[in-house]
Structure 1
Amino acid sequence: MKILFVHQNFPGQFPHLAPALAARGHQVLALTDEKNGRPSPVPTVRYKTPDAAQVDGWGRSYAGHAERGYLAARGARALRDRHGFVPDLIIGHTGWGETLFLREIWPDAKLLVYAELLYRTRGHDVGFDPELQTDSDEARMLAVARSAHLIQGIVQADAAISPTRYQAGSFPPELRGKITVIHDGIDTGRVCPDPHASLTLPGGQVLRAGDEVLSYVSRSLEPYRGFHILMRALPEVLAARPQAQIVIVGAEGVSYGTPPKEGGTWKARMMAELGGRLDPSRVHFLGRVAYDDYLSLIRLARVHCYLTYPFVLSWSLTETMAAGGYVVASDTEPVRELIRDGENGRLVPFFDVPALSAALIRGLAGDPEAGRLRAAARQVILDGYDLDRHSLPRQIAWVESHASMG
């Protein structure tokens, strides 16, 4: 088959699937944003980066995504008209509107999409955090407006894939029937326990497996990933565990939410709120780090803290579990799909700062159940999320099944 992947940040969610399909003899090509600097495992072509949408009001989200969709379609048209490329299958992510108009370029191609999440007005992230969000009519209407291109994308598709049951369940029943749940997959051969793991901090201090280390990892340090809750828990943790070192990984901007209303970053806001109650020699902000350093951190940490609104599940959770991590996590719906309290990790209510402090202290002090919980966490990944044994074979079968549909 001729297969075209479409993703503005390719390979995105497809770093294993695209080359695996190429290895099976399919002709695989990727269409991506011209500014995407990530290395690609397959040949790529690029479309023009859209300018910022000059639209105000409730339609601005759709306008921006439609503009990107048009530019992706224009790149697709050049592939068709100048190079004669006609794919049998198109596999794209609906999140940025890139698939919206591809049916007009290649009406006979099968369209498969990655359905990551549908914004919902109730029961998910909207209004979840009353301290920082308003559960208003306007907030709910904004969620509806932001969902338009996502709904259109899946309606147009022949089939969709979603990484977790929670994320698939964010779509309404009339669309849910199109979605197959297959996780992206974890390379458990690479992401595995290492009793000799170590990490050198910027100041030269070396942390090693067995040290009293608490890790926290997020793409950005923001409330969607519970950064404000973690920070409020730390003074008690530091007081109770005088040898503990806290290592926080993540950029200071935002990836999903909004900056503080007063401006600045959430890190700055939380540091100001805590008023010097954190010892800077024991709380280390590393920003974003190289993948190997991140792996070393989650392997050596005595406790890993993962907090999230009801939202997309982070790879950092599944990878920490694969590395045999002792996880203290928020008792929110996406997390409960993988973590069972007392069986393979510890769950605490998202907003209960004292409970989080107590759970982190318990883990740092040396929870007698830690060995069992770590082994059980890794086993969950081995049994259902392993890349080579489960995810990739199922993804390949899913893709190729649509070729046999004719």
Structure 2
Amino acid sequence: MKILFVHQNFPAQFVHLAPALRRRGHDVRALTDSTNQRTSPVPSVMYRYTPETVDPAATRLGRTFTQVSDRGVTVARAARRMRNDGYVPDVIFGHSGWGETLFLKQVWPEARLLIYAEFYYKGEGTDIGFDPEFGTLTFESGLIAQSRAAHLAQSLVHAEAGVAPTHWQAGTFPPSLRRMVKVIHDGVNTSVMKPDPAARFELPDGRVLTPGDEVLTFVNRNLEPYRGYHVFMRALPEVMAARPDAQVLIVGGDGVSYGTAPPEGSWKERFLSEVQDRLDLSRVHFLGNIPYDRFRNLLQVSRAHAYLTYPFVLSWSMLEAMSVGALVVGSDTAPVREAITHGETGLLVDFFDVPAWSRTLTEALADPERFRPIRAAARQLVLERYDLDTLCLPQMIRFVEGLEG
């Protein structure tokens, strides 16, 4: 078959799937933004998107749809050029988040359109209004949030099927659309993300950490409130005071992946400045974004891994931490509860309870042997539910090839 992947940051969620389909003999291509610098063995066609400035006063609740539909038009024009050159895919598989799939059926009505349906914005019950420190839920904010879902609904309505990585994320879609969405996780490469007693992680100053060292880790693409960076930092002074040998490794950039930017500076610096006079900064290591092999080694030497999130998409990093046998201390929020049962496959703490975070992380660092069975159970759960090669990738291949309805 001719299979076209559409994602502005390809390969993204398709990093394993697209090459696997190519190995099976399919003609696999990608359509992606010209600014995308990520590499892939899959041939890519670039579209050039130059966003227009949106007037909030004029667009009002439609401003998100205005922005994403503009991108959708750009992608559709690129698709039409491909069609004029003779290319007609049998299957299109695209992420609906940026509007790229909105008009592809206009170009290729005969293609089977599949949607990566990652999340559906809602007026209440998910991320909006969850954290009162950054805005409470009001009637108006609920309307704004719900309006952001318009393009997500349209994308799925015009598709043959959708797929979401977790049951909770699939459940954010309204019942009429939820029936179209299968649940298949992207998969965790457990043969790579596995415990390694010989793992080593070198700090910028040359010191080397190994399994058995007292290491606390925190990982996100960007350090921001949606992923609980503010709560983690506020818990850290008590943890470090109680555990004078602990080394804290923090991975993440200074930008914003979700939510809004701070009034000035970065979220990283804002919340570090709150607590830095109570921290031994020689033991707190901000590593920025690191290569995948170093990320793996970081998790392999971790004694306790803190993961927090609003009710929003679940990070791959949490499941990868479980896969390498790290003890995950996670926020007691719905996305996390799908994979972690408190006291069995990890520890759960109320997202906002800073003293409880300090206490639980201190206990996790102080007595690693006590939590060894939980670490083993966490890896076993990932093997049984999220393994890339034996479960998720075969299911996703069947989904694309039309063998799994």
Q: TM-score, normalised by structure 2?
A: 0.97
Native 8 Å contact 1:124 1:310 kept in 2? yes
Native 8 Å contact 1:50 1:67 kept in 2? no
Native 8 Å contact 2:327 2:375 kept in 1? yes
Which residue is equivalent to 2:210? Answer: 208
Which residue is equivalent to 1:47? Answer: 47
Which residue is equivalent to 2:20? Answer: 20
**Please, what is the CA RMSD of the aligned residues?**
1.3
Deviates more, 1:118-127 or 1:363-372: 363-372
SS of 1:335's equivalent?
A: helix
Deviations 1:19-50 (A, max 9, x none): 11111121111111111110012111111123
Native 8 Å contact 1:127 1:134 kept in 2? yes
Which residue is equivalent to 1:69? Answer: 72
Native 8 Å contact 1:329 1:348 kept in 2? yes
**1:162-311 alignment to 2 at 5 Å?**
162-261=164-263, 263-274=264-275, 276-311=277-312
Which residue is equivalent to 2:7? Answer: 7
Which residue is equivalent to 2:402? Answer: 401
Deviations 1:65-120 (A, max 9, x none): 01110111111001000x20011111100000000010110111110010000011
Native 8 Å contact 1:306 1:330 kept in 2? yes
Indicate yes or no: 2:320 matched with 1:319.
yes
Deviations 1:254-275 (A, max 9, x none): 11011223x1111221122225
**1:28-107 alignment to 2 at 5 Å?**
28-56=28-56, 57-81=60-84, 83-107=85-109
Aligned AA (1:64)? Q
The change in CA–CA distance for 1:270 and 1:331 in structure 2 (over 3 A counts) is: same
> What is the CA–CA distance in structure 2 between the aligned matches of 1:174 and 1:388, rounded to whole Å?
32
Aligned AA (2:308)? L
SS of 1:246's equivalent?
A: strand
Aligned AA (2:365)? L
> What is the CA–CA distance in structure 2 between the aligned matches of 1:339 and 1:285, rounded to whole Å?
27
Deviations 1:153-188 (A, max 9, x none): 111110001000010000000000000000000111
Unaligned runs of 5+ in 2: none
Residue 60 of structure 1 and its aligned partner are, at CA, apart by 1.7
Residue 59 of structure 1 and its aligned partner are, at CA, apart by 1.9
> What is the CA–CA distance in structure 1 between the aligned matches of 2:152 and 2:392, rounded to whole Å?
24
Residue 206 of structure 1 and its aligned partner are, at CA, apart by 1.6
Which residue is equivalent to 1:385? Answer: 386
Native 8 Å contact 1:116 1:163 kept in 2? yes
Native 8 Å contact 1:53 1:63 kept in 2? no
> What is the CA–CA distance in structure 2 between the aligned matches of 1:269 and 1:217, rounded to whole Å?
18
Identity of aligned residues (%): 55
Q: Give the one of 124, 127, 134 matched to 2:126.
A: 124
Deviates more, 1:193-202 or 1:154-163: 193-202
> What is the CA–CA distance in structure 2 between the aligned matches of 1:17 and 1:91, rounded to whole Å?
11
**1:127-166 alignment to 2 at 5 Å?**
127-166=129-168
Native 8 Å contact 1:15 1:41 kept in 2? no
Aligned AA (1:175)? L
Native 8 Å contact 1:55 1:63 kept in 2? no
> What is the CA–CA distance in structure 1 between the aligned matches of 2:142 and 2:220, rounded to whole Å?
26
Aligned AA (1:75)? A
> What is the CA–CA distance in structure 2 between the aligned matches of 1:354 and 1:67, rounded to whole Å?
46
Native 8 Å contact 2:124 2:137 kept in 1? no
Indicate yes or no: 2:365 matched with 1:353.
no
Aligned AA (2:362)? I
SS of 2:13's equivalent?
A: coil
Q: TM-score, normalised by structure 1?
A: 0.97
**How many equivalent residue pairs?**
402
Which residue is equivalent to 1:330? Answer: 331
The change in CA–CA distance for 1:302 and 1:161 in structure 2 (over 3 A counts) is: same
SS of 2:282's equivalent?
A: coil
